[in-house]
Amino acid sequence: MAKDSKLILDPLTDNNPITIQVLGICSALAITAELEASIVMSISVLFVMGVGNVVISLMRNIIPSKIRIIVQLIVVATLVIIVDQVLKAYAYELSKTLGAFVGLIITNCIIMGRFEAFALGNGPWRSFLDGIGNALGYAVILIIVGFFRELLGSGSLLGYKIFGDSVAKTGLYAYGYEDNGFMLLSPMALIVVGIIIWVQRSRNRALIED
């Protein structure tokens, strides 16, 4: 049991997919300009990874190793399309927010990475936990980055103005505060991720490689 809980908890901290395994960086940079987008992406990846890991794990003994990457790709793509279709039918507004991410989920290397590294060699239950754990680890970083980028870049969180109105110069803006538009661009996401990596490793020296 103790080992099972490690599958969920490890990716949150000491084996985080983004900050330690350095997977899924591309999507972490692309979609974290707003907190809402980060959350939607996190939930989508959570579903795709949880189910995908189980499917691959169930099929692990019958997948021909020569085409296993293609099989993995098909599983991810199918799941993503199912998510997209269900949302389009029953949560139309949300599906439009997700629209931009469908392609990004398929190319997310965390998903393929965990299929390849874990689900192909472990049972369905443990693969499920591993999928959920890694997706949550991904979500934590995405939400932290999205939080700071939207707050400092647009002065808002989930679309609500936190610092007052930048056009009418109310709230903080009345004192000369300005949003940092650079935060909205991808390079700043990389820098924020870098800062998280730095903080994490300075708190836990065991993570520093030689």
**Tokens of residue 127, six digits:** 């693969």
SS3 62: coil
Q: Quote the CA–CA distance of 68 and 52 in Å, as a whole number.
A: 14
154 is a contact residue toward another protein (CB under 8 A) = yes
Measured between its terminal Cα atoms, the distance across the chain in Å is 33
Residue 10 · residue 20 · CB < 8 Å: no
- Residue 160: strand, helix, or coil: strand
Q: Is 191 in the site for another protein (CB under 8 A)?
A: no
Residue 28, interface with another protein (CB under 8 A)? Answer: no
Q: Which of 1, 2, 3, 92 binds another protein (CB under 8 A)?
A: 92
Q: Which residue from 8, 9, 46, 184 is in contact with another protein, where contact means CB under 8 A?
A: 184
Say if residues 209 and 49 touch (Cβ distance below 8 Å): no
Verify binding: residue 37, another protein, rule CB under 8 A.
yes
143 lies in the site for another protein, by CB under 8 A: no
**Residues 58/181, Cβ–Cβ less than 8 Å:** no
Q: Please, are residues 186 and 30 in contact by the beta-carbon 8 Å criterion? A: yes
5 or 96: CB nearest another protein = 96
Binding to another protein (CB under 8 A) within 101-140 occurs at: 103
Residue 162 binds another protein, judged by CB under 8 A: no
Residues that bind another protein (CB under 8 A): 30-31, 33-34, 37, 61-67, 70-71, 74, 78, 81-82, 85-86, 88-90, 92, 96, 99-100, 103, 149-150, 153-154, 159, 161, 165, 167, 181, 184-185
